[in-house]
Amino acid sequence: MSRRSRGTGQVRIEDVAREAGVSAQSVSRYLRDPGRVGPATSARICEAISAVGYVPNLIAGSLASNRSHVVGILLPTLAIPAHAGPVEGLAAALRDSAYEVLVGTTGYDAGAEERLVRAFVGRRVDGLVLTSDVLSAELRRTLTAFAAPVVQIWELPSEPFDMAVGVSNKAVGAAVAGHFLARGHRLCAAVGHAQATDTRSAARVAGFVETLAAAGAPAPIRLDVRMPEALAQADAILARLCAEGPPSAVFCTAGQLTVALHFAARRAGLNLPDDLALMGLDSEFAALVDPPLSVVRVRTYEFGRLAGEMLIERLAGRRPETQMRDVGFEMILRAST
């Protein structure tokens, strides 16, 4: 292998050119547009790149083209599996379009979200996917100056900044309340997130509470917990609910916590659904416990896939068919209710 360029410590185009026995201009032309270089020369350059371990300087390339070929996605956390779905969907949608995915987590902190958006914009990502319904005035100013496509996921904002892919979380809560009422439950409980920035959980609880009130049922017991810390506190959470009621049915806005509450109920000697009906958002373990859990299934993968498709359309200079996509949800009723 030919030696690295003096003083840099890094393999450069010149090193590839020496290895391939061609000019640096030929290597540069090959990297920008392989079709402009003959097959034999292309083969030598490709072998040389592999031999010397050359990796193109994407920062320099993005400065020249004003394109980074990177799309950023901001999520509250990756500790909750439901938030991994949009990343998988986004990556799949972008895979054949020469775009890569850059992931940031906010920890449900609005300040952290603003800092991450500025960091992503400063690195000239070509588009952004945000897990936010309400955007601060400062964040809107930053995104306006960014002048690149933005997709909000998980919710259907009344005033989307640009594009949105989500579900009516309020309708999710209303559907669960309707199911409990149809089963004859009166005193119910809702376990939501204490994080004020989790407007998705708040909307589910609001839909649940309003539907019960419209039916003349007692006001439900409400308990807000912090996630994912609450997973280790399921026994204490269940004890608090029972001390205030006890309720005959519990709606949990988080899938993992619903499973944890299931085990807590079994440890407390409660039979589901005779002593307590339990339902929450979907989890990969919901169908595996005994009795299996009734859930609301939201296709989180589709959030990312559709967001990716909308970004590709905009980055190609085309306008998507619609600026707002509702992926809907599905109630899967099992033995726990």
Mind listing the domains of the chain with CATH numbers? 13-56 (1.10.260.40), 68-167+300-328 (3.40.50.2300), 169-298 (3.40.50.2300)
> In the Cβ-directed half-sphere of 45, how many Cα atoms lie within 13 Å?
26
User: Is 191 buried (19+), middle (13-18) or exposed (0-12) by CB count in 10 A?
Assistant: buried
Give residue-wise pLDDT tens across range 326-336: 999 999 999 99
The interaxial angle of helices 255-267 and 234-244, nearest 10 deg, is: 70
Alpha-carbon distance values, 161 to 196, 277, 282 (Å): 20, 39, 28
User: Which residues partner with 188 through β-bridges?
Assistant: 249
The beta strand positions in 226-282, using DSSP E, are: 249-252, 277-281
**Cis link prior to 86 (omega < 30° from 0)?**
no
Place of tokens 């990177």: 70
The proportion of the chain whose per-residue pLDDT surpasses 70, expressed as a percent, equals 94
Q: Positive or negative CA dihedral for 153, 158, 160, 161?
A: negative
- Say whether 281 sits in a helix, a strand or coil: strand
pLDDT at 7 over 50: no
C-alpha 297/C-alpha 310 separation (Å) is 23
The arithmetic mean of pLDDT across residues 76-102, rounded, is 93
The secondary element (H helix, E strand) that includes residue 210 is: helix 199-214
Give residue-wise pLDDT tens across range 218-258: 999 999 999 888 999 999 999 999 998 899 999 999 999 99
User: What tokens appear for 297 in the block?
Assistant: 């299934």
Task: Note whether 90 and 71 are within 8 A (CB).
Answer: yes
pLDDT at 171 over 80: yes
Confidence (pTM): 0.82
Give residue-wise pLDDT tens across range 31-43: 877 788 899 999 9
Average model confidence (pLDDT) across the chain = 91
Ramachandran angles phi, psi of 185, nearest 5°: -80, 140
Place of tokens 């030598």: 44
Q: How much is the pLDDT for 62?
A: 55
C-alpha 319/C-alpha 243 separation (Å) is 54
User: What tokens appear for 137 in the block?
Assistant: 């005035």
Task: Note whether 71 and 148 are within 8 A (CB).
Answer: no
Cα–Cα–Cα angle for 313, 302, 96, nearest 5°? 45
C-alpha 114/C-alpha 34 separation (Å) is 39
C-alpha 297/C-alpha 96 separation (Å) is 28
User: What tokens appear for 110 in the block?
Assistant: 């609005």
pLDDT at 196 over 80: yes
Q: How much is the pLDDT for 180?
A: 98
Helices and strands (DSSP H and E) totals, the chain: 12, 12
C-alpha 173/C-alpha 156 separation (Å) is 15
Of 182, 158, 188, which is closest to residue 280 (Cα–Cα)? 188
